[in-house]
Amino acid sequence: MILKVFSNLYDSVILTVGPQALGTKIQVDANTDPPSVKDELVCELLQELDPCKSMGPDHIHPRVLSELADIVVKSFSIIFEKLRRLGDVPEDWKKSSVIPIYKKGFKGGSRKLEAHQSYFITERILLGAITSQMKHVTGKSQHGFTKGKLCLTNQIAFYNKVTCLVDVGQAVDIVCLDFSKAFHMVSHSLLLEKTMHYGLDKWSVQWVGNWLTGRTQRVVVNNSFSNWQPVTSGVPQGSILGPKLLNIFISDLDDGIKCTLVKFADDTKLNGEVDTSEGRATMQEDLDRLEEWANKNLMKFNKDKCKVLHLEKHNPGEQYRLGSTWLGNSSVERDLGVLVDKQLNMSEQCAAAAKKAHRMLGCINMGITSRHKKSLFHSTQHLSGHTWNTCAQFWSLLYKKDVDRLERAQRRATKMMKGLGSLPCEDRLRELGLFSLEKRRLRGDLITMFQYLKGGYKEDGDSLFTRSHLEKTRGNECKLLLGRF
């Protein structure tokens, strides 16, 4: 009974009407040579396998392939090049065993369970080789599953433009959009057309089409298996290639959009200046374009989760619609794990982070009997520490009450350790080799600034910082022009 419920649930979100995968319909010119699979690339992918991960359905441990990379690389390169030349995909690679995993919310609801799939280790390597050709096909607005971009860069890029408008007294509206089951609703034929449009060679597109065509899945619960069900749409979510294909599929989402639109995979945000009736009309026109794009690409917005934040106290509070549905307003919205309120002071996020940290510390206090600092230090830092470190450079605190609220959580964590409870807070931190959270945030700010100026985020750094070009004194190319506030 349980297997049938889960199987019907996952089958219900798959497109049953509409274009099917092109796969074998793609014509490849026989006179052109297929792209070679280089030994260096395969060896690099083998060596990058995480030896701590478990085996896949092929029962080959990644540690074995990682340590024998120099020996098996030639054989793997020949096999992979042959598969791409013929466009063949092993039938076992098209079969997925889906394991339901609790995500959040009410545990009794089947829709709160995410589908987890396991993949062959050898399949991951070939998918990684194909993914290496898709480095610059997602556009600047996409920050998800993109090298050099992450949640932090997404939030900074989006809210930097928002705060610039708010600082000069402009009213701004933010629309947080949510696709319904985006990974499962991708039309294969439309995806392959877009993949060819963005420059992937036809040999690879043919192979990807065959990889998506004829897929089946079954649900596994307590070593019991459901019947195999066909998968006629969507991209495999847990694979290396699947998220990249989703990025390609929604890469044209912002075509024709006049307001600022930023994406993290399928999580989309839109903001615009709404002081004037023209600005509000532009926001509505962009929402109409997004709804038109969704209908054209056989996607759906989860309109109950799409919310509007009205910033600035003189905001007119315009009502927007998505299709025929009027969007609800919200005073606080969760954006990539961070609570953003309409005052942009981050007090809501601070309260939530402190509450979660104290809850984690309570679990540690009840679950670990030893009070030795070697036993508790790593537990407190890893389980509760991530709550005040995640994207902290974005939600930097404004008020002393919020700073003190987070510091109390760290003081509680250090007091739990044997022999440190009677010491002052500064001495406890010194004994453990830690800094206060305020100093750690400052250190994180400096590291992030370096990343924007000279590191992995350098591409976006020029839009955030203005460099000083004064040559009267000695200096370096990273000197910044100090602005006035």
Per the CB < 8 A criterion, the answer to whether 179 and 302 are in contact is: yes
Q: Which helix (H) or strand (E) holds 123?
A: helix 121-131
CA of 364: how far to CAs of 243, 354, 431, in Å?
35, 15, 21
Report the pLDDT averaged over residues 332-346. Answer: 91
Q: Which helix (H) or strand (E) holds 213?
A: none
Report the pLDDT averaged over residues 133-159. Answer: 85
How far apart (Å, rounded) are the C-alpha atoms in residues 430 and 142? 41
DSSP 417: S
Report the pLDDT averaged over residues 166-192. Answer: 91
Angle at 186 between CA 182 and CA 191, to 5 degrees: 135
How far apart (Å, rounded) are the C-alpha atoms in residues 395 and 240? 30
Place of tokens 């997404």: 154
Report the pLDDT averaged over residues 144-152. Answer: 87
pLDDT in tens, 192-202: 989 888 777 78
Is the pTM higher than 0.85? The answer reads yes
Per the CB < 8 A criterion, the answer to whether 407 and 350 are in contact is: no
Res. 308 pLDDT band, cuts 50 70 90? very high
pLDDT in tens, 29-65: 555 666 788 899 999 999 999 888 888 888 889 999 9
Q: What's the mean pLDDT when you consider all of the chain?
A: 85
Lowest mean pLDDT, pick from 37-46, 187-196, 210-219, 471-480? 471-480
Per the CB < 8 A criterion, the answer to whether 246 and 124 are in contact is: no
Angle at 225 between CA 241 and CA 235, to 5 degrees: 20
